[in-house]
Amino acid sequence: MLQTVLAIAGKPGLYRLVSRGNKNLIVESLDAAKKRMPIFGADKVISLADIAMYTDNGEVPLAEVLQKVSDKEGAKEASLNPKKASNEELQNYFAEILPDYDRERVYMTDIKKLLTWYNLLVNAGITVFVEKEQE
């Protein structure tokens, strides 16, 4: 699911890949506006499936971190407002989600962005981030 959800450098929010053109991508914003626009080769684009968070024991894929937030919040918006929360509140909240996160390499801006993205995804109807393996 997160393969088609993109973050674009210099543009706020998240975008869903709609189609691929000859020299561009067509994306749609995940916010309420659902605005479509082309993204060209000069834009730095990354799929959320390619992002990971640093821990003391390596890296954890972003999908797993988002799933832990979803499990904690009951697939609803985060109880902590990332824009208004203090650094200490953000650290404590994230320590509940990922207790062994690397406190030197995961910055407050990373935690704020994670919670902002989580809220955008939940509002867009995406609440399952890690596919459960079929038995």
Give the pLDDT confidence of 21-75 residue by residue, as tens digits: 888 999 999 988 889 999 998 899 999 999 999 999 999 999 999 999 999 999 8
In the chain, where the domains are located: 2-48, 51-123
Residue 129, classified by CB atoms within 10 Å of its CB into exposed (0-12), middle (13-18) or buried (19+), is buried
Element (H, E) at 55: strand 52-55
Percentage of residues in the chain having pLDDT higher than 70: 96
CATH class, domain 51-123, is: mainly alpha
* Alpha-carbon span 79 to 12, nearest angstrom: 21
Is the entire prediction scored with pTM above 0.85?
Answer: yes
- Judge if 2-48 and 51-123 fold alike in CATH terms: no
Task: Between 49 and 133, name the one with better pLDDT.
Answer: 49
**Three-state SS at 30:** coil
The C-alpha atoms of residue 78 and residue 57 are separated, in whole angstroms, by 26
* pLDDT score of 134 more than 80: no
The two three-digit tokens of residue 35, written as one number? 């605005």
Handedness of CA 24, 3, 60, 13 (dihedral sign): positive
Q: Is 125 left (phi over 0), alpha (psi -120 to 50) or beta?
A: left
* Higher-confidence position of 124 and 133: 124
Which CATH class for the 2-48 domain? Answer: mainly beta
Compute CA distances 110 → 4, 12, 27, 75, 77, whole Å.
Answer: 21, 14, 23, 21, 18
